[in-house]
Structure 1
Amino acid sequence: MLLKAWRAFTAWRRGRPFWAGLFVAAGAFIILFPPFVGVKLGDMVISIKTIGGVSALLIGTLLAICAVSLWLQPKFRLAAGIVTVLLSLVALVVTNLGGFLMGTILSLLGGALAVAWTDNPKEPKKAKKAKRGTEPTQRVQPT
């Protein structure tokens, strides 16, 4: 039962830019997290509540929407990838260095993976050679 579920998940994952969506979702979480969480160290509470929190909410939510769209609608992967790259660059300036650089880096990586992803399967090497019709000739070295 578990093996069957894993194979179904693997088949679902291969038909879409799964890793791109995962990196974008992780970047969105890291961008959203710092402005809204207070860390308590003993009696001291460390909290980053600035105007960056509003922009972090907006940018983080839009990045999360892009991640979900990469998983659910892979045909929009180019648009979602470009929007992700642009939002992550804006987040670098606007939201606490884009989640202290980690959110921006993860989102940029996810956006790049989304733009580069294709749903065409790779052809085996033998099939490529047969498709060309000729085998590569070997060069004879003069002695």
Structure 2
Amino acid sequence: MSAETPASREVPKENRFKVWRQTRPFWAGLFTMIGGLPIAYLPYGDMRLGNVTLAMKTTAGSAALIIGVLLITLGLTMWYQPIVRVFAGVASIVLALVSIPVSNFGGLVVGFLFALIGGGMSIAWAPAPPIEKTPEAEHDSEPEASEEATYRYDSETEAVVAAGVPEQRDTYESATETTTTDANGGRNSAG
């Protein structure tokens, strides 16, 4: 800790990765990078089964390599530039779809699925809203019991009643008043 850094801004070493991971679409980037690996590798790789060599080389090998490298780059972009997560997600989905005819059915479907899921997760991810600290919240980490409201569901009137906070209780109790119609067509107020 230095004299310029306030103590409240310091994050313990064991929590740094957790905080970093929670401020960006971490899992989306990881899935996208995992999806790029089989797409890039399979057109160039050989599998050996005993004395038999299984080669999956295609004529579009360079295109598959480019798609795989771009997917890995997009996964890293999701991690280190989360502001462009929507673009990276859409680009990942498009590249995953293009990899189906280009790269052995999208890296034998495994790479395609990982890249597709990673792109969708990147589009859907949203940063958590910032936590606003008030001067009172800095002193007390938990609110007092008198400040907390408890809510109960009243099945007869189908309303939520707040207990513990007078202003909220009055508001919710006035909302529970219902108007019904009696047999003669007149209106009765029940509460």
Q: TM-score range by the shorter chain?
A: 0.7 to 0.9
Q: What corresponds to 1:97 in structure 2? A: 105
Q: What corresponds to 2:91 in structure 1? A: 83
CA distance in 1, matches of 2:21, 2:99: 28
CA distance in 1, matches of 2:13, 2:98: 39
Counterparts of residues 1-143 of structure 1 (less than 5 Å):
5-121=13-129, 138-140=154-156
Q: Which of the two has higher C-alpha Rg?
A: 2
Higher relative contact order (CA 8 A, sep 6+): 1
CA apart distance, 1:42? 2.3
Q: Which runs of 5+ in 1 are unaligned?
A: 124-134
Taking only the aligned residue pairs, the percentage that are identical comes to: 35
Q: Tell me the TM-score normalized by structure 1.
A: 0.81
CA apart distance, 1:121? 4.0
CA apart distance, 1:33? 1.7
CA distance in 2, matches of 1:102, 1:29: 10
Per residue, is there more helix in 1 or in 2? 1
CA offset digits 1:51-96 (Å, max 9, x no partner) = 1311110100110110010000000000000000111011112110
Deviates more, 1:107-116 or 1:86-95: 86-95
**Cα RMSD (Å):** 2.3
Per residue, is there more strand in 1 or in 2? 2
**Equivalent pairs, count:** 129
CA apart distance, 1:139? 3.8
CA apart distance, 1:122? 9.4
Contact 1:27 1:105 in 2 (8 A): yes
Q: Which runs of 5+ in 2 are unaligned?
A: 1-11, 132-150, 158-191
CA apart distance, 1:30? 1.5
Runs of 4+ in 1 over 4 A off after TM superposition: none
Cα–Cα, structure 1 residues 101 and 122, in superposed 2: closer, same or farther, change >3 Å? farther
Find the residue that maps to 1:40 and give its secondary structure: strand
Contact 1:52 1:96 in 2 (8 A): no
